[in-house]
């Protein structure tokens, strides 16, 4: 599933009351996933992060405190235990590192590699180390 469950101007411009607006964004994220579950109950749902699925518009969290809050809460919203994924713990491990993950489809010889392309935006250079971690992880998935 592509990102951007949230419309423009809901995520807060940088410098505003981030955590207050994040509650609104997170509520929309949970609602979108609940609708997907309602209409597609037997389908694996594998979302990726878009530029409106964040605390600050177009920006990933720049402090580790915000990073941990953001990825933990977004993971819980997007990957509830009701989601039909077989490797939830492994997805959680890498998603909490930076919003990227791998899902291997049961009984098939295919996988989905979900990357967090938000780290490649100039606005997100504050977490350049996370960009590099993700690329290192991605390389190991291809070998």
Q: What is the DSSP string of the chain?
A: --S--SPTTTSBPTTS-HHHHHHHHHHHHHHHHHHHHHH-TTS-------TTSSSBTTB---SHHHHHHHHHHHHHHHS-TTS--S-HHHHHHHHHHHS-EEEEPTTSS-EEEE--GGGGSGGGGGGHHHHHHHHHHHHHHH-
User: Which tens digits make up the pLDDT trace of 59-86?
Assistant: 888 888 989 999 999 999 999 876 778 8
Task: Share the mean pLDDT of the chain.
Answer: 85
pLDDT surpasses 60 at 141:
yes
Percent of the chain whose pLDDT exceeds 90? 38
Of residues 120 and 137, which shows the higher confidence score?
137
For residue range 11-38, what is the model confidence (pLDDT) as tens digits? 555 655 556 677 888 888 899 999 998 9
Give the tokens for residue 108: 């098939």
- For the four alpha carbons of 25, 19, 115 and 110, in that order, the dihedral sign comes to negative
pLDDT of residue 127: 79
pTM score, two decimals?
A: 0.88
As a whole-number percent, the residues of the chain with pLDDT over 70 amount to: 89
pLDDT of res. 60: 86
The residue-averaged pLDDT of 103-111 equals 86
Task: Give the pLDDT of residue 14.
Answer: 60
Q: Residue 93 — very low, low, confident or very high, per pLDDT cuts 50/70/90?
A: very high
Q: What is the pLDDT of residue 46?
A: 92
Distance, CA of 57 to CA of 98 (rounded, Å): 17
Burial of 133 (0-12, 13-18, 19+ CB in 10 A): middle
């Amino acid at each position: 599933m592509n990102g951007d469950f949230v419309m423009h101007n809901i995520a807060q411009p940088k410098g505003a009351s981030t955590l207050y607006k994040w509650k609104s964004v997170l509520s929309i994220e949970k609602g979108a996933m609940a609708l997907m579950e309602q209409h597609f109950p037997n389908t694996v749902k594998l979302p990726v992060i878009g530029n409106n699925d964040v605390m600050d518009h177009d920006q990933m969290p720049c402090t580790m405190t915000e990073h941990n809050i953001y990825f933990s809460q977004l993971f819980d919203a997007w990957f509830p235990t009701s989601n039909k994924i077989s490797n939830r713990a492994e997805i959680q491990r890498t998603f909490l590192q930076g919003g990227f993950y791998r899902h291997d489809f049961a009984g098939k010889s295919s996988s989905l590699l979900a990357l967090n392309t938000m780290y490649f935006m100039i606005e997100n250079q504050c977490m350049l180390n996370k960009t590099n971690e993700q690329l290192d992880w991605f390389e190991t998935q291809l070998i």
